[in-house]
Amino acid sequence: MAILSVNIGSSSAKFALYAAESHGIGALLGSGQIDNLQPGGAPQWHWQIGTTRVQESLACQHPDNPHQDALRHLQHWLQHHFADTPLTAVVHRVVHGGDYFDRAVLVNDDVMAKLASLNRLAPLHQPHNLAGIARFQAAFKNVPQVACFDTAFHAGLSPLETTFAIPAAETAAGIRRYGFHGLSYQYVAAQMAAASPRAQARMVMLHLGNGSSACATVNGRSSAMSMGFTALDGLMMGSRCGYLDAGVVLHWLAEGKDHAAIEKLLYKQSGLLGVSGLSANMRELRQAAAAGRQQARFAVDLYTHKARREVGALTACIGGLDVLVFTAGIGENDAQLRHDVCHGLSYLGVALDSGANQAANGQLRPIHSADSRVEIWVCPTDEGKNAAEQAWALLQT
């Protein structure tokens, strides 16, 4: 038996197949990612089973709906390689659970309707998450579909953290801070609890990637979070702006920009891409900066500054800092960024071991110096495995 974990986005689909054993989730059986699924795109996919790795283009029979081709290829892949491994469930990452869901749930029509009502709060993610669920429901009619939520890990946040300074009636209507990247933070918090006793004290985790955020935990529970009502808030990201004075939106409206234009600006044309004018990819920007492109250098510096600033703010919220963790694509693989963030936090007692930092990319390991008052770690995240574990636990109840 196995559980298939999927994460369907606007232009990509990530998947991982895990053995479902009597005691819980077992070995990773196979995984992969399908990219360029935007309409008119040229879908590419890569997958891995054990040491076998394959990368290839996908024949696209539906250029206006390449997600349909992606699902067809994924079905063929499962049938070819895992015909004798029946699916226990398909579990889906869903970005926004709103006030409706604080844990994994079996999907039904009522669940889908509630989640669809949240589409405008996460327009880059939620509609594609739900479309993916619908496709898998049709393709695997007798297999339970489970939804896991990025907001669930933050469900216990204090009203001091979730409430905007707006009329109480608006707060009662659901306009509040929810927090996101919860599947990642829950996984990393569990890994860190096993790796270091101090992780149960005051910890700040930096999830730095195309989507970026920060989360502070005390006793392993979310206590403060950079993201808010939507996944647009907080840190600067690949193409999202992060924190923005609401007056800027009012200014754009007064200039005549409509909802669609403003949404495109904030979600798809800002962040590293907007500031640099070149790319949303940190690796490409570092190469451009090394070649003398000043806007690329400034974009990297601004991203670093905002990450440092958020660590300071979250540290104030939880009354100190015992452990600092870097995770996600940039956090796990960019040693220079880790150095630059930590260098600006020396006043907190943060001291990096340069050699350990350079060697840590993609591995769970400490990177602090012997005299650092704060432990510093790199911890790879695995949202897919966390989702699979939640699905397995749900199916046991």
Percent of the chain with pLDDT over 90: 76
Whole-angstrom CA distances from 389 to 42, 261, 384 are 33, 40, 9
Residue 14 annotated as part of some ligand binding site: yes
Would you place residue 319 in the very low, low, confident or very high pLDDT band (cuts 50, 70, 90)?
Answer: very high
Which listed residue (35, 99, 109, 150) is catalytic? 150
SS3 label, residue 244:
coil
* Sheet (strand 44-49) strand order: 52-57, 44-49, 24-35, 13-21, 2-8, 87-94, 145-149, 105-106
If you average pLDDT over residues 87-95, what whole number do you get?
94
If you average pLDDT over residues 18-24, what whole number do you get?
90
- Could you confirm whether 233 is annotated as catalytic? no
pLDDT at 65 over 80: no
* Surface-to-core class of residue 29, CB atoms within 10 Å of its CB (0-12 exposed, 13-18 middle, 19+ buried): middle
pLDDT tens-digit series, residues 132-179? 899 889 888 899 999 999 999 999 999 999 999 999 999 999 999 999
Residue 81 annotated as part of some ligand binding site: no
Instruction: List Cβ neighbours of 248 (8 Å cut-off, separation of 6 or more).
Output: none
Contact 12, 18 (CB under 8 A): no
Residue 39: per-residue pLDDT: 66
Residue 128: per-residue pLDDT: 85
Q: Which region among 115-124, 226-235, 253-262, 294-303 has the lowest average model confidence (pLDDT)?
A: 115-124
pLDDT, mean over the chain: 93
Residue 211 annotated as part of some ligand binding site: yes
Helix (H) or strand (E) holding 323: strand 323-327
pLDDT tens-digit series, residues 328-387? 999 999 999 999 999 999 999 999 999 999 999 788 999 999 999 999 999 999 999 999
Residue 36 annotated as part of some ligand binding site: no
Residue 252: per-residue pLDDT: 98
Instruction: List Cβ neighbours of 138 (8 Å cut-off, separation of 6 or more).
Output: none
pLDDT tens-digit series, residues 261-318? 999 999 999 999 999 999 999 999 999 999 999 999 999 999 999 999 999 999 999 9
Query: pTM for this structure?
Result: 0.92
Contact 332, 209 (CB under 8 A): no
pLDDT tens-digit series, residues 175-221? 999 999 999 999 999 999 999 999 999 999 999 998 999 999 999 99
Residue 329 annotated as part of some ligand binding site: yes
Residue 383 annotated as part of some ligand binding site: yes
